[in-house]
Amino acid sequence: MVGRLCPKTWGRISSLLGLAVLFLAGCLVKPGAQPSQITYSFPTTLAIKMGNSLPGTDIRYERMSDQGAYVTIKGQQALKRQGDSLDWSGSLGSGVTADLKLRVVLYNESELRLVGTAKIVIDGVSSKQGSIPTSSVIEFSGPVAYGLAKGAFLPGTTLTYMGHSSDGAQMGGVEGYAYRKVGDSIFWEGSLRDGVYLRLDVRVVQFDDSGLRVTGLATIWIGS
């Protein structure tokens, strides 16, 4: 598994994301076609078993010594100690690039642990709703917050904000009941492009004539 946010509680994430939404008041996604490129920026916690590589990359944890952890990066050996940087950028598959900014937090005879951020850029996006495989070893998950103008797509999905009424925020592209009130969930999963899959699980924070604001978690799988 390449990366996964490890929150202590959903409540803590919800509180942080609620604060983040305050900054979206003047930044709404406008109506129109879905963009062909989507970027995700997630906090990330990673672990590399000794003798193995970080899936999708050429970072390999070779061995531990009294001096620190020996890793190879692009074929070159490097000695890393607690707190040292361990960055990587490159392709994770067709149409997917990653920029990992990481630091060593722990190493032992079993594994090397890293924390930092992951910027994932996906090109050639053509979202399709449907069931998804979740067995890929390359996985990233983290918080997202979106503000949508009326008629705009929820990024990465086939869902749109149609406006509001006394029944709640009306969503286009959903199956069944189309209205959501503050605190209600909006769930979507499907493919972003061949071999890249998204699960989006967000909740409504606020909606009005100007737009809809949601926060929650996005998880992407690559290469399954």
Residue 16 has pLDDT above 60, yes or no: no
Find the helix or strand (DSSP H, E) in which 148 lies.
Answer: strand 138-148
**161 shares its domain with 210:** yes
Quick one: 110 and 214 in the same domain?
no
Q: Are residues 183 and 145 in the same domain?
A: yes
Q: pLDDT of 31-88, one tens digit each?
A: 888 899 999 999 999 999 999 999 999 999 999 999 999 999 988 999 999 999 999 9
Same domain, 158 and 198: yes
Residue 51 per-residue DSSP state: T
Q: Which amino acid is at 92?
A: L
- Give pTM, 2 decimals: 0.85
Q: Which two tokens stand for residue 53?
A: 């590589």
Q: 132 and 118, same structural domain? A: no
Number of structural domains, the chain? Answer: 2
Beta-carbon contacts of residue 101 (< 8 Å; ≥ 6 apart): 85, 87, 116, 117, 118, 119
61 and 142 housed in the same domain: no
Q: Verify that 95 and 199 share a domain, yes or no.
A: no
27 pLDDT higher than 60: yes
Q: Which domain holds residue 198?
A: 10-35+126-222
Q: Are residues 102 and 147 in the same domain?
A: no
In a domain, 1, yes or no: no
Whether residue 104 sits in one domain with residue 49: yes
Q: Is residue 5 part of a domain?
A: no
Query: Do residues 81 and 141 share a domain?
Result: no
Q: Is residue 3 part of a domain?
A: no
